[in-house]
Amino acid sequence: MPKISVLTPLYNTEPDQLKEMIESVLAQSFSDFEFLLLNDSPDNTELESLVKGFSDPRIRFFSNEENLGISESRNKLLGLASGDYIAILDHDDICYPTRLEKEAAYLDSHPDVGVCSSWADEIPSGRMLRVPESNEDIKRGLLSDCAVIHSAAMIRKDVLLKNHIRWEAVYSPAEDYMLWVKLMEVTMFYNLQEPLLKYRNTPDNTTHKKSDLMEDRANVVRSYAIRTYPYFLLQHDRKRWVYLFGKIPFLKVKNYGSKSEYLLFGILKIWTIL
């Protein structure tokens, strides 16, 4: 049984990008993995031919009889996975060679952590995408934004299975954000403070094509997170703002030694905690 299952749904992936993504997985310094790819564009037979052109026995290819969508395809792959750790990878992103090794090593040495991710280099812009490091900062960050890079993440499979947590299509294309919010209550997070992924952000990908829907669904997830975990607003160590809809600064948190003040829009004091 492999230690890691790399899960990648495919949907009309550009052949050159698919080839580059697959090659980045097969070139990993850590070799004890299986690589599961699921074609969710069943009429696109070119993808199957390209994947099967790689002779590596760690590759397992599947195809949906009909389009299921990204969330259900991820859930189907999870059900097919035999590894203890689930490495998420989107179909057009690229792993750096030590990604699996470093994330698995961290999970091995920190059994209380269920999700390990990293920074990412955005392509083609070259911008580095940084996310907070500690469990506390990540969970606070999830109240206003997606503080874990999904395509760079590795998850303990039993954390998902035992808690019946899956990707939910109703929140797509922000289903990854809701996944992290649901996991907040049951496990700990850690982000390695280095880029282990090249994240492709172009006009052709989902982030751009569905930007309005993405923001709408993300707002729903933020509202759920704040309602469900209000106590994370109280766990602060510095002056900070909490953002409404990820954009509007509506709550200012000020820390004075052991006293904390909460000011609506930074002006109106609504409560003090001693």
Domain range enclosing 245: 236-273
Q: What is the pLDDT of residue 182?
A: 98
Does 126 lie in the same domain as 29? yes
Residue 234 has pLDDT above 80, yes or no: no
For 140-199, write each residue's pLDDT tens digit. 999 989 999 999 999 999 999 999 999 999 999 999 999 999 999 999 999 999 999 999
Encode burial over 130-168: b for 16+ CB neighbours within 10 A, e otherwise. ebbeebebbbbbbbbebbbbbbbbbbbbebbeeeebbbb
Does 126 lie in the same domain as 255? no
Does 192 lie in the same domain as 148? yes
Residue 238 has pLDDT above 80, yes or no: no
Band of pLDDT at residue 267, cut at 50, 70 and 90 = low
| DSSP assignment letter at 133 | -
> What is the domain-level CATH number for residue 181?
3.90.550.10
Q: What is the pLDDT of residue 233?
A: 67
Does 14 lie in the same domain as 53? yes
Does 98 lie in the same domain as 61? yes
Q: What is the pLDDT of residue 200?
A: 96
H or E element at residue 190: strand 188-200
If you average pLDDT over residues 132-146, what whole number do you get? 93
- Greatest pairwise CA separation for the chain in angstroms: 65
Does 116 lie in the same domain as 71? yes
Band of pLDDT at residue 269, cut at 50, 70 and 90 = low
Does 140 lie in the same domain as 208? yes
H or E element at residue 220: helix 211-228
Residue-by-residue DSSP string for 256-270: ETTEEEEEETTTEEE
For 70-102, write each residue's pLDDT tens digit. 999 999 999 999 999 999 999 999 999 999 999
Residue 255's DSSP bridge partners are: 260
Q: What is the pLDDT of residue 229?
A: 87
If you average pLDDT over residues 126-135, what whole number do you get? 96
| DSSP assignment letter at 231 | G
For 103-120, write each residue's pLDDT tens digit. 999 999 999 999 999 999
Does 150 lie in the same domain as 173? yes
Helix axis angle for 211-228 and 175-183, nearest 10°, is: 10
Band of pLDDT at residue 236, cut at 50, 70 and 90 = very low
Both structure tokens of 60: 């397992």
Mean of the per-residue pLDDT values for the chain? Answer: 89
Q: What is the pLDDT of residue 251?
A: 58
Q: What is the pLDDT of residue 207?
A: 58
Q: What is the pLDDT of residue 252?
A: 56
Give the total number of structural domains in the chain.
2
Does 118 lie in the same domain as 77? yes
Does 48 lie in the same domain as 32? yes
Other C-beta atoms closer than 10 Å to the C-beta of 53 total 9
Q: What is the pLDDT of residue 190?
A: 99
Domain boundary pick from 228, 244, 262:
228
Does 79 lie in the same domain as 32? yes
Does 208 lie in the same domain as 254? no
Listed in sequence order, the residues at least 6 apart from 250 whose beta carbon sits closer than 8 Å to its beta carbon are 241, 242, 243, 244, 264, 265
3-state secondary structure of 154: strand
Percent of the chain scoring above 70 in pLDDT: 82
Residue 258 has pLDDT above 60, yes or no: no
